[in-house]
Amino acid sequence: MTIQCLAVDYQDSNQVEQLVELLDNYAKDPMGGGEPLSPEVKNNLITELKNYPQLLSVIAYYDDKPAGLINCVLGFSTFKCKPLLNIHDVTVNPEFRGKGIARKLLQAAQDIAIDKGCCKLTLEVLEGNQVAKQAYLNFGFKGYELDPKMGQALFWEKSL
């Protein structure tokens, strides 16, 4: 059994179809919100991804079958004055879980970040997603703080 990670070419119709399907499967999972992607998102996602050169995606193939996906956004750390890579989505289809695919996707993202001169990788994870949290800890992620008296950083959002 082989795992191969390939950067998605947003011009490749086969890869973009796989990306949308993997992301839709993730959206349907409780860890992705439990609802499928809307038809509007499915129809416009690739067009929008093409408009943002700071976005990148990698698909993991398990024996040539699309098994997992990682979507990342190139950002910037003002404190380090260097780029950073934010891992926005990580998903592995249920039938491929437990085979090391998430680790391979994280390694692919790290390799890209190093190649781009990034100072760090960032991500968010749901508090109750113990499997993902353990995978991220095993890969070297941890909560961060600037000053122990102020505690660890929190990730918040405001929908618009």
DSSP state of 79: T
What is the tens place of the pLDDT at every residue in 44-84? 999 999 999 999 999 999 999 999 999 999 999 999 999 99
Question: What does 8-69 look like in DSSP terms, one character per residue?
Answer: --TT-HHHHHHHHHHHHHHHHSGGGTSSPPPHHHHHHHHHHHHT-TTEEEEEEEETTEEEEE
Q: What are the extents of the domains in the chain? A: 3-122
| Architecture of the domain defined by 3-122 | 3-Layer(aba) Sandwich (3.40)
Q: What is the mean pLDDT of residues 7-27?
A: 97
What is the tens place of the pLDDT at every residue in 123-151? 999 999 999 999 999 999 999 888 999 99
Pair 3, 100: CB distance under 8 Å: yes
DSSP state of 122: E
